[in-house]
Chain A
Amino acid sequence: MAECLLPLLLLLTGLDLAFVHATGAVDLRLLLPMLVLTAAAPWLRHLQRHFTYRLLWNGGVLIAFALIVQHATTTGLVHMLEDGLALAVLCQVHLLNNVGARQRPDLVFFNSLLVAFVTSLFAPDLTWSLLFVLHALVLVPSLELHAVTRGQSCLTRAAARAVVRGSLPHAVAVVLATAIVFVVWPRDFQRRGWFNELLEATQQFASGAAERIDLEHENGAPLSDAVVAQLVPPSGRAEDVPSHWRSTAFSTFDGAAWLPQDASELGSRFATDPAWERDRSGAWVRSLAETGLRRVRVRLLDGSQRRLPSPLQARRVDLQQAAGLLVDPRSYGGLGLLRLADAPAGALEYTVECSAARVVVAPGARARQHMTALPSSGVPPFVHDLAAQLRRDLPAPDDQLSLALAARDWLSEHRRYALPGTPGFAQNLGEFLIGTAPGHCEYFATALALLLRSSGVPCRLVGGYLAHEWSAADRAMLVRGRDAHAWVEAWLPDGEWLTLDATPPADVLADSRPTNSWWGGVVADLELMWATVTGFDAGQRARWLAALVRFPQEHALAVASLLVAAWAVVYLRRRRRTLFVVQQLHRAARNAGMQLRDGETPRELLGRAVLSAATPARLAALRAAALAHERARYMKPGDREP
């Protein structure tokens, strides 16, 4: 390997360390020694010729490897990611320090790509993307220098610089081509992958497709960018779309998990919510006052959904195509969905009519008891202390509405939000409640529900989607897989169901992050831009292509100008090339002591030069210049050389 390649390999390894650091999964104390070994590689490599050093180095690598593996196997799945990434960068540093006579740089390139790939699954999108652009701008020149120096171990420094300089246009072209293909290629957010489908089928068979919220086994929810549903208000205004769309309600907490609301425990199927009935037109209706009605057309894109998400105040649900579909009114006021064999594949459309009226159902004693039940274990003692504290701070301690709002606000203000899988995420509900670790919406909702139930306020946990991403182009609210959410519905003494969402909205809604500084604004803009790219779907693609087709018609002058400019560039380049060979001919003639006469051809000039006293070297230069001139002026593409 040529020495001149080493600085680029060093940069590549440094970027790999940055990739891993961006995930936040590996402690900086572990990455720093790797960084030092990377920076010292130019000197350490020279020691590789000593047997003792090689023994020490390889022994050290083996020991580090064994320690990481031992750590991974003894600390459980929690540290698997951390250990895996640490192992990947350890390999990269080891390869870098051994590259040379024994080790070709091929593995350094491949391992670098693999590190980029693995970290793409965990690092923040924007950070990873910026690092990836840098990575591409280093990887391409590295490959090019490696290809050029393959046969030449002693490339001069100037030549190496020339190669790297020459490779930069290639690197930029690769990045641009990647960006164009990435943006223009249609997305397939609905694809789940054969492995996932296989896994899902197995799980469904094993669990009977049971739905539950398990707080102790958070392996990271699949934060898919896929658009699950489009909510289209006929008015075209975002304000007309309710934010919380319910899928399932959970009313039983066993200390570790929330279980779906079961009518058999309530004594009556519709003991908690107004019952759904089918009207003559086939739509599903329930008895809510017809005040302030708003309609939303829902396009459910996720074909695997077994619920028809709807807001708490949904009054009427009308399926567009009911053939092959069975709607099941659930005890919590939602609608389940069964797909028969002849069910239409793909998207499903239905219209939801929402009322502005309160949802009121007089609570029965049994239902009330069920909704305030706490498990004998699994509830952190801090819950009761905190609930008592909140009650004490209220002007009217028995006011359940005030208590519910106070508990929601307290959690929202005093507890931090984080997604599962991110560094420092709470290992259990206790950690989150005490405040030592951040948690996600399920922790916020559970904490709020436990606070309310410990104060005797009936409530349940609801799972569904939070609609917040308004697409001005579609005039619709987009609901993505990552918008899955959990919140609480409290049952007030007068029988009203009240939606309470304790999760800090600024953390959940990507577009409502505070931008206090110019840098924050830039980051927010970049993230918004990136969200446009990641959310680029078939509809947007069709609009872009249509705009591309319309562009020449609408901007004929601009297109004509562009074409003329392109032609001018080609013409000038050709002319410059022709001028160059003429200049070369004149220069060669001058060097040979000759002067091109009027009307004299280069061949005639050459004939005169042969008879003159020009040295062989200058004569050869003149011959080459004359030939180049002939080729540039008179040869057409495809002509054979004379």
Chain B
Amino acid sequence: MRVRLRPTQLGAKGLLLLLALIAAFLATNYNNLFFLLIVFCTTVGGLGLCWTWGNLRGVTLLRLDAPPGPAGEARALGLELGGRRPRAVSVALLVDGEVVEVGDRLGFGSAEPAPLLPPRPRALAQITAVRLTSRFPFGLFRARLDLPVAAELVTHPAPAANHHGHRRAAHTATDDDDGDQPLPQGRRGSAVAGLRPFRSGDSFGDMHWKATARRGVPIVREREPEGDLRCDLVLDRRCPEQRFERALSRLMRDLAALRGSGRSLVVHSQGGGFVARDDRKSELAAQRWLAATTSLPAAAAPPPHVSGAERLPRSGHGGRHG
């Protein structure tokens, strides 16, 4: 990992000033104080170059946690650097070749806020490197160090407003009810199986306020599931972009509702689908599928027919593309 150096705007101007001073020095009589000034400027430049390089030299990447997150929302990243502790660095991620600034680290013993990934559109992207940039100490040179990393950045659709009414979605339904109607699902049982931490999609009605107050984190009641434990959905990808995104948001909402319910959600679509159960692994796979999927043209093949399964989007099956 090589530290790359280049002069900043201030450094370039400083270099011009130094050259002008040297030219004036050579043009006139030898003068000690003049020489002292040139030595000082050169020393500041030379030591600045060494120290800027040394600030990033030997820095390694110990950990990068980029959790899946909803589109249009910032999310905190887990970043741990090893080796030398750099000062005053800007941290950025190289996501599919694009540089995404995620924050600064001062490194003077103060509390460092977690790097924050700015809101991104729904996509499945590759993080190829963590880029550290620093002008420390004098701002005359900029050092850049790319720490290679292979990680996926899953930006899934933001879940639509859930059936209890509070809003979580970035999109709102307009001319149809794709984003508002809940999927038919098994009733929640009245028997409480236990308590667990709150997860996205849990109903506020299940909040256990006493436990929440006691533990300091939101706690909900875990209920025994009742009724049908499997739900089949057919996603027709031949639809306009906006409706497609709304359908994905709704799927995301239903996916969140699966947590702790003991049920499963099977989505059938062109080119495959996913099966989501009440476990983290299948949830991540579903989020990944939802992040990566795209709409298809109207002339594309229809989705597989599954009897008794609800179709999404409900009011259209292609033809209104665009």
Contact = CB atoms under 8 A, between A and B. Distances in A.
- The CB with the most chain A CB atoms within 10 A, among B27, B43, B109, is that of B43
A73 interface: no
Given A110-B17, A156-B110, A162-B109, A167 B137 contact: yes
A194 B27 contact: yes
Given A117-B37, A147-B138, A191-B26, 17 more contacts: A109-B10, A110-B13, A121-B31, A125-B32, A148-B87, A150-B139, A152-B106, A159-B108, A162-B108, A163-B106, A167-B137, A170-B47, A196-B27, A224-B30, A225-B32, A641-B60, A641-B82
A144 B108 CA distance: 13
A191 B32 CA distance: 12
12 contacts: A143-B139, A148-B88, A159-B108, A163-B106, A163-B108, A178-B43, A187-B30, A191-B29, A193-B30, A194-B26, A195-B28, A641-B60
B204 interface: no
Given A156-B110, A178-B39, A181-B43, A117 B21 contact: yes
B34 interface: yes
Contacts of B10: 106, 109
Contacts of B9: 106
B150 interface: no
A263 B183 CA distance: 124
A497 interface: no
Interface string A143-161: 1101110111001101100
Contacts of A624: 80
Interface stretch (A29-37, A79-87, A128-136, A595-603): A128-136
B29 A224 contact: yes
Contacts of B43: 174, 177-178, 181
Contacts of B136: 144, 147-148
B106 A148 contact: yes
B55 to A, nearest CB: 11
A113 B62 contact: no
Contacts of A384: none
A167 B104 CA distance: 19
A410 interface: no
Contact of A193 (B29, B44, B47): B29
A642 to B, nearest CB: 10
Given A129-B36, A181-B43, A151 B90 contact: yes
Contacts of B48: 143
Contacts of A170: 47, 51, 137
Contact of B36 (A109, A140, A178, A631): A178
Q: Which 10 residue pairs across A and B have the least CB separation, nearest first? A: A147-B139, A195-B27, A120-B33, A162-B108, A193-B28, A143-B138, A148-B88, A147-B135, A534-B32, A178-B40
Contacts of B104: 151-152
A488 to B, nearest CB: 29
Interface in B85-127: 87-88, 90, 104, 106, 108-110
B318 interface: no
B41 A140 contact: no
A159 B32 contact: no
Interface string B136-165: 111110000000000000000000000000
Interface residues of A, number: 60
Interface residues of B, number: 47
B209 interface: no
Contacts of A189: 30
Interface in A108-132: 109-110, 113-114, 116-117, 120-121, 125, 128-129, 132
A178 B26 CA distance: 19
Interface of B: 9-10, 13-14, 17, 21, 25-37, 39-44, 47-48, 51, 60-62, 80, 82, 87-88, 90, 104, 106, 108-110, 135-140
A619 B139 CA distance: 39
Contacts of B80: 624
A590 interface: no
A121 B37 CA distance: 11
Given A188-B30, A195-B28, A225-B32, A136 B110 contact: no
A113 B17 contact: yes
B29 A631 contact: no
A219 to B, nearest CB: 14
Contacts of A109: 10
A163 B88 CA distance: 10
A627 interface: yes
Contacts of B30: 187-193, 224-226
Contact of A129 (B13, B27, B33, B44): B33
Contacts of B28: 193, 195-196
Q: Is the interface of A mostly helix, strand, loop or mixed?
A: helix
A234 to B, nearest CB: 31
B301 to A, nearest CB: 46
A222 interface: yes
B29 A144 contact: no
A139 to B, nearest CB: 8
A187 B33 CA distance: 12
A357 interface: no
Interface in A248-278: none
Contacts of A174: 40, 43-44, 47
Given A110-B13, A152-B104, A627 B138 contact: no
A150 B48 CA distance: 16
B104 to A, nearest CB: 5
Contacts of A182: 35-36, 39
A185 interface: yes
A173 interface: yes
Contacts of A158: 110
Nearest to B141: A147
B33 A121 contact: yes
B146 to A, nearest CB: 15
A620 to B, nearest CB: 9
A155 B106 CA distance: 10
A147 B31 CA distance: 32
Nearest to A159: B110
A224 B33 CA distance: 12
B88 A159 contact: no
B137 A117 contact: no
Interface string A161-179: 0110011001001100110
Nearest to B142: A147
A151 B132 CA distance: 14
Contact of B37 (A113, A162, A631): A113
B138 A120 contact: no
A194 B139 CA distance: 34
A572 interface: no
Nearest to A637: B58
A166 to B, nearest CB: 6
A117 B106 contact: no
Given A152-B104, A627-B62, A120 B37 contact: yes
A641 B42 CA distance: 37
